[in-house]
Amino acid sequence: MRFSTLGLHADILAVLDSLGYQTPTPIQQAAIPEVLAGHDVMAGAQTGTGKTAAFALPLIERHLMRETTEKAIRVLVLTPTRELAQQVHQSFKKYSQGLGLSAVVAYGGASINPQLEALNQGCDVLVATPGRLLELAIKGLIDLGTVETLVLDEADRMLDMGFIVDINRILKRLPDTRQTLFFSATFNDDVFALSKTMLKQPKLIEVAPRNQAATKVEQRFFEVDNSRKAALLAYLIGAKNWQQVLIFTRTKQAVDALTKELEKDGISSAAIHGDKSQGARDRGLAEFKTGKVRALVATDVAARGLDIQQLQYVVNFELPYNAEDYIHRIGRTGRAGQAGLAVSLVSSKEKYLLKDVEKLTGEHFNLQWQEGFEPNLLAQEETNSPSRNTSKKNLRAKALGQTGSAKAKRGKPRRR
Ligand code: AMP
């Protein structure tokens, strides 16, 4: 199936094309026609299934079809966390680029003034966490009477986090005639009870999580600025009490620099790369195996053939230029039926490498933010112009020693 069969506007199809989205994911195939038809929807879908576009695309379509250009909050998306609010906001901006839709995000724990300023400039879609939304509504700073569609994202987490009272107070301020889209990864009695109070004859949609049973390696992707990667890694190792973690970087220089950084943060580390003597490599590996050092930092080539039993944690400090290397890297954990965790730290400039990994594995991965290490999106917007992306691809081709088509020659061996 292609997006063009879903009845979306040509301008939206053009955006999807520019994003490289070719096929709608199962949740998109099922939800988009229902949302377009104006039905309430109750969908069981986890993050990573493409659920944001499943509700955003038809709502953008409705925006384009609307005759009035007057700004009013027509779509309200509620999310349990500010990280998710920021992600959904970014997704709306990404999917509606150049289409005249204005999306605003509002969440607590941050100054209300810039959020108000953005709201006052005109807002079609408001993405918000419940507490801040109520604050804005109770103070009379926003009018929720114009809302046509309410999206409740991650309803199960909302309930887990105790937002039920806030949600009920918000519902009272919304028009009864609204459309409601209800998304939840899991369904228990509480989630069903909440859905019953919110939905009218909903269409039920359920999609299977992708490849979940097939693998015991949990894969997580953190979006983080390059300059904050070492700090985030040290935080994760410390806060999660990881005792033995294998970390991959792309270059020998990066291995050395990161090893020093981790030592500074009090995390004993050893380095393995092509410029190290065999003796130094063996020593590093032995210390890592016996637990004398907690972190082993390595390049892909140096790490090949390392046999470390029952490794629980692998970190991609940088995504590899070859997507195949990603598979090799994460294959170092979850061995012999053990559960493993593979964490990737992805800067904005590496997102195209993540796309390669997604293409190779056939999976969609959701980028998450770690509180306190959120990326600076303003700086990203400045550096993400298409011309720069092209030059990044050239850079990768150069790094791989390729000329001409980088794709055609992918996989060429190189020494690092
Ligand atoms: P979500 O489940 O909404 O968090 O989306 C997970 C990831 O899948 C995001 O990085 C999206 O940009 C990406 N994505 C969503 N829909 C598609 C699609 N049809 N084709 C390719 N990537 C997609």
Buried b (16+ CB within 10 A) or exposed e, 136-155: bbeeeebebebbbbbbbbbb
Q: How far is the CA of 81 from the centre of ligand 1 (A)?
A: 19
> What's the predicted TM-score (pTM) here?
0.57
Buried b (16+ CB within 10 A) or exposed e, 79-106: bbbbbbbbbbbbbbbebbeeeebbbbbb
Q: What angle do CA 239, 293, 343 make, to 5 degrees?
A: 45
From 25, 153, 358, give the residue whose CB has the most ligand 1 atoms within 8 Å, as the site to mutate: 25
Q: What are the structure tokens assigned to 63, written together?
A: 């925006």
Q: How far is the CA of 176 from the centre of ligand 1 (A)?
A: 31
217-383: CATH topology: Rossmann fold (3.40.50)
Least confident of 199-203, 315-319, 402-406: 402-406
| Nearest to 163, CA basis, from 133, 127, 203, 126 | 133
- Looking from the CA of residue 46, the nearest atom of ligand 1 is 2
Q: How far is the CA of 263 from the centre of ligand 1 (A)?
A: 37
* CATH tag, 3-206: 3.40.50.300
Q: What are the structure tokens assigned to 140, written together?
A: 């009379």
Q: How far is the CA of 15 from the centre of ligand 1 (A)?
A: 13
- Looking from the CA of residue 94, the nearest atom of ligand 1 is 12
Residue range 340-357: average pLDDT? Answer: 94
Q: What are the structure tokens assigned to 410, written together?
A: 């992918």
Residue range 302-314: average pLDDT? Answer: 71
Taking a C-beta distance cutoff of 8 angstroms, is the pair 60, 99 a contact? yes
Residues of the chain with CATH 3.40.50.300: 3-206, 217-383
Protein residue closest via CA to atom 13 of ligand 1: 50
- Looking from the CA of residue 22, the nearest atom of ligand 1 is 20
Taking a C-beta distance cutoff of 8 angstroms, is the pair 90, 117 a contact? no
Residue 214 pLDDT greater than 50, yes or no: no
Residue 412 pLDDT greater than 50, yes or no: no
Protein residue closest via CA to atom 5 of ligand 1: 50
Least confident of 195-199, 265-269, 336-340: 336-340
Q: How far is the CA of 72 from the centre of ligand 1 (A)?
A: 27
Least confident of 40-44, 184-188, 348-352: 184-188
Q: How far is the CA of 383 from the centre of ligand 1 (A)?
A: 21
Residue 208 pLDDT greater than 70, yes or no: no
Determine whether the shortest distance from the Cβ of 320 to ligand 1 is under 6 A.
no
Q: What is the mean pLDDT of the chain?
A: 86
Phi, psi (rounded to 5 degrees) for 344: -120, 135
Q: How far is the CA of 317 from the centre of ligand 1 (A)?
A: 22
CA–CA separation, 190 vs 2, rounded Å? 36
Protein residue closest via CA to atom 14 of ligand 1: 50
